[in-house]
Chains A and B, each alone.
Chain A
Amino acid sequence: MARPGPLARLWAPGLALALLLVAPPFLSSFFLTLLTQAVIYAILAMSLDLVLGYTGLSSLGHAAYLGLGAYSVGILTTRHGAGFWTTLAVGVLLAVAVAAVFGLVALRATGVYFLMITLALGMVAWGLAHRWVSLTQGDNGISSVPRPAGLPFSLAGAVPYYYFALGAFVLAYLVLRTVVGSPFGRTLVGIRESESRMRTLGYHVWLHKYVGFVIAGGIGGFAGVFWAYYNGFVSPTDLELATSVETLLMVALGGRGTLVGPALGAGLIVILKNLVSVYTQRWLLILGAVYIGTIVYAPEGVVGAVRQWTTSSKGDGT
């Protein structure tokens, strides 16, 4: 079978988007805030997917970029009354700049060493948030972050902010889709599959990885900007190792290297975490079972499993 046409490939994300667009009137306000949270986390998970899924580098420090974006908003709005566009620009640029520095350090290594270096760098960012009290208010965090200002429309309620975050999500998805579909993105996949072969073919492997890493960082910062506005609060817990690990799990659960998968994984985890814990204190047990189930029965994640199932049922084998 030939590659499915663009329409065939777009129907699933298109349907999902349509559902997300018409959902608000049917949802309780609590569920809508969960969905907003899921949409923002989906941006972060998709950005990590560029590094983890497409380039094959497991990063344990991705929460740092979320934190950079979030702290940009927290500090600029509460201290300088900055508007949305300023905070967005600063948040993303700062994340890009820091990713550019972290990338220089981390990309000297691969495999488990890369994991350890990103872990350490992530902890450095967390440590800064925790200890640079004059700037970040340390452990207490920055509260009373207002909703975005300086826009032609009001984002006061839960519904407008949901659409706002959804817009950001679609934008991030389109950008990442373009990146992974471009020759650059295909090269990243090539590097994931065989670094030595790509090098022999004359590709500048390091530079490709580096640019991918920086783009992922920038989009992570982009997610952080929306995260801070959503919570109205920024604290070092946003940069914790637990946040990085959770993002990693979102990607793994949904299916790495698929973009749609991590977004789905983000939705699943946010909803499991917040909704199941309402009904039972044993929610961690359920979450654990879901992780183990995924690793055992769907190592390629939910989307990977679905794809495998649909292609094999069509009987073309590959």
Chain B
Amino acid sequence: MRGRRIASLLIAVALVGLAGLGPAEAQKGPIKVGFMAPTTGGAAQVGKDMVNGFQMWLDEHGGQIAGRKVEVIVEDTQGLPAVALTKLRKLVESDKVHVLAGLLFAHVGYALAPKVDEYKIPMLYPVVSADDLSQRKPAKWVVRTGWTSSQPNQPFGEYVAKTLGYKRVVTIANDYAFGWEQVAGFQRTFEENGGQVVQKLWPPLNTTDFAPYLSQVRKDADAVFAVMVAASALRFPKQFQDAGLKAKLPLIGGGTTFDEFVLPSLGDEALGGVTPLIYSAALDTPINKRFVNDYRTQFGKVPSYYSETCYTAARWIAEAAKAVGGDIEDREKYLAALRKVEIPDAPRGPIKLDQWGGTIQNIYVRRVEKKDNELWNTVIHTYPNVSQFWKYNPEEFLKQPVYDRNNPACKYC
């Protein structure tokens, strides 16, 4: 009898102890973050900028988020949707990550979004900018903290027509959704402000010889608007100059044509290029100066917008985790917190999300200039708090089809 009582007492004590331990034990476990970027293949260098930026924020904060240790598992997507899908499965099913971040390329982003929704694991897209991810085809569990492709170019169209005063522009852009959306965003506002796009040229992605396209450029234009990415961006400005066009036509374009990722590899041929983007390493704020300085010390190069957006994504994950008291296991609650995050002082400026999941942030119009024998994107104008819909009514904006190669149509070609 007595023995039984002692036994039940012991069991009761054990049960109380377990009950008390349970949640506390869960709190102590590390937060597992899956980070996906192409660290091999053609875009490996971009992938490194992404990983470096993300890791840098965590290192600065002692590898801790909301008092919990953080374990980052980096997976290589090789820039391919099928590989990224496989790695997503691995991160979720084998590693049991709590939150995901990363990815480059729109098609990889589109491929993973439905799967992320299926897994119900929050995922941040700090770089993938395909318009429809926060417009017509949003995914519940994808939080896009980066930008939309047309976002910088809509204000820029107005800037080019009104401030730079160009009337007739030729566009030349890599022939895929990222190029189309940027050209279209630019064309729409440029033409609404009295400009005319008189010719649209579309060299394929990864084109390195632009001679056949440059020879077609209409010489009666006022400027050339170029959207180049990676391998194309490295070669385009030089060939533009060699074709004798730089002397006649100013070169303007999408942000990636002259972003900090390509600038160190370019020479004087890039000087004077005017492009808009959500970030410039030359941004003159204390927080950005510190960021650029620290990044250079650590990685020996100027941070690109890929570094900045991933750096800020790490902070984003932390801000939301703080908001839910570190309890990121409650995924619905954590997702809601992620959508509510507002960062007033990221290196690129203040950022928050609109109700469709698009970012509201500053757009910087930048001009390539030489300082201390290095090329920098000097900010010459700032459009504060720009929405993905620019000045348009969101409902009406969303009723139109997504920007495309021929939308808006080329009326003046």
Which residues of chain B from 16 to 40 have any CB-CB distance to chain A below 8 Å in the complex? Answer: 39-40
Which residues from chain B contact A144 at a C-beta distance below 8 Å? Answer: 114
Which residues from chain A contact B130 at a C-beta distance below 8 Å? Answer: 140
| Least CB separation from B404: chain A residue | A133
Which residues of chain B from 68 to 98 have any CB-CB distance to chain A below 8 Å in the complex? Answer: 75-76, 78, 80-83, 85-87, 89-90, 93-94
A28 to chain B, nearest CB (A): 6
Contact call B114/A140, Cβ cutoff below 8 A: no
Contact call B86/A274, Cβ cutoff below 8 A: yes
Contact call B40/A30, Cβ cutoff below 8 A: no
Say yes or no: is A110 at the interface (Cβ < 8 Å to chain B): no
B interface size (C-beta, 8 A): 30
The answer for the CA separation of A243 and B90 in the assembled complex, in Å, is 22
Say yes or no: is A278 at the interface (Cβ < 8 Å to chain B): yes
Contact call A143/B113, Cβ cutoff below 8 A: yes
Contact call A30/B93, Cβ cutoff below 8 A: yes
Interface bits B156-200 vs A (CB < 8 Å: 1, else 0): 000000000000000000011100000000000000000000000
B81 to chain A, nearest CB (A): 5
A94 to chain B, nearest CB (A): 21
Q: Select which of A133, A141, A238, A284 is within 8 A of B110 by beta carbon.
A: A141
Stretch at the interface among A111-119, A227-235, A303-311: A227-235
Q: Select which of A30, A232, A237 is within 8 A of B114 by beta carbon.
A: A232
Interface bits A211-223 vs B (CB < 8 Å: 1, else 0): 0000000000000
Q: Select which of A37, A133, A139 is within 8 A of B107 by beta carbon.
A: A139
The answer for the CA separation of A103 and B358 in the assembled complex, in Å, is 48
Say yes or no: is B106 at the interface (Cβ < 8 Å to chain A): yes
Which residues from chain A contact B111 at a C-beta distance below 8 Å? Answer: 141, 143, 231, 233, 235
Say yes or no: is B322 at the interface (Cβ < 8 Å to chain A): no
Residue among A33, A140, A232, A283 facing the most chain B CB atoms (10 A cut-off): A140
Binding site of A, secondary structure by majority: helix, strand, loop or mixed? helix
Say yes or no: is B115 at the interface (Cβ < 8 Å to chain A): yes
Which residues from chain B contact A284 at a C-beta distance below 8 Å? Answer: 40
Q: Select which of B78, B82, B405 is within 8 A of A133 by beta carbon.
A: B405
Contact call A141/B86, Cβ cutoff below 8 A: no
Which residues from chain B contact A143 at a C-beta distance below 8 Å? Answer: 110-111, 113-114
Which residues from chain B contact A281 at a C-beta distance below 8 Å? Answer: 39-40, 76
Which residues from chain A contact B115 at a C-beta distance below 8 Å? Answer: 232
Say yes or no: is A179 at the interface (Cβ < 8 Å to chain B): no
Contact call A33/B86, Cβ cutoff below 8 A: yes
Q: Select which of A29, A133, A139, A237 is within 8 A of B89 by beta carbon.
A: A29
Say yes or no: is A90 at the interface (Cβ < 8 Å to chain B): no
Contact call B114/A139, Cβ cutoff below 8 A: no
Say yes or no: is A277 at the interface (Cβ < 8 Å to chain B): yes
A91 to chain B, nearest CB (A): 17
The answer for the CA separation of A63 and B90 in the assembled complex, in Å, is 25
Contact call A235/B81, Cβ cutoff below 8 A: yes
Say yes or no: is A205 at the interface (Cβ < 8 Å to chain B): no
Contact call A140/B106, Cβ cutoff below 8 A: yes
Which residues from chain B contact A29 at a C-beta distance below 8 Å? Answer: 89, 93-94
Q: Select which of B82, B106, B114 is within 8 A of A238 by beta carbon.
A: B82
The answer for the CA separation of A236 and B79 in the assembled complex, in Å, is 13
| Least CB separation from B83: chain A residue | A274
Q: Select which of B40, B86, B404 is within 8 A of A283 by beta carbon.
A: B40
Contact call A138/B94, Cβ cutoff below 8 A: no
Interface bits B25-64 vs A (CB < 8 Å: 1, else 0): 0000000000000011000000000000000000000000
Contact call B176/A237, Cβ cutoff below 8 A: no
B173 to chain A, nearest CB (A): 13
Which residues from chain B contact A274 at a C-beta distance below 8 Å? Answer: 83, 86-87, 90
Interface bits B381-413 vs A (CB < 8 Å: 1, else 0): 000000000000000000000001100000000
The answer for the CA separation of A141 and B115 in the assembled complex, in Å, is 14
Contact call B106/A30, Cβ cutoff below 8 A: no
Contact call A231/B82, Cβ cutoff below 8 A: yes
The answer for the CA separation of A232 and B88 in the assembled complex, in Å, is 13
Which residues from chain A contact B40 at a C-beta distance below 8 Å? Answer: 277, 281, 283-284
The answer for the CA separation of A76 and B283 in the assembled complex, in Å, is 49
Say yes or no: is A34 at the interface (Cβ < 8 Å to chain B): yes
With A29-B94, A33-B86, A140-B107 given, is the CB distance from A278 to B114 under 8 Å? no
Q: Select which of A130, A236, A277 is within 8 A of B76 by beta carbon.
A: A277
With A237-B107, A274-B86, A284-B40 given, is the CB distance from A141 to B81 under 8 Å? yes
Interface bits A250-292 vs B (CB < 8 Å: 1, else 0): 0000000000000000000000011001100101100000000
Which residues of chain B from 365 to 380 have any CB-CB distance to chain A below 8 Å in the complex? Answer: none
The answer for the CA separation of A277 and B83 in the assembled complex, in Å, is 10
Can you give 6 contacting A-B residue pairs, CB < 8 Å? Answer: A29-B94, A30-B89, A33-B86, A33-B93, A141-B110, A231-B111
Given contacts A30-B89, A281-B39, 14 further A-B contacts (CB under 8 A): A29-B94, A133-B405, A139-B205, A140-B106, A140-B110, A231-B81, A232-B85, A233-B82, A236-B107, A237-B82, A238-B82, A273-B83, A278-B75, A283-B76
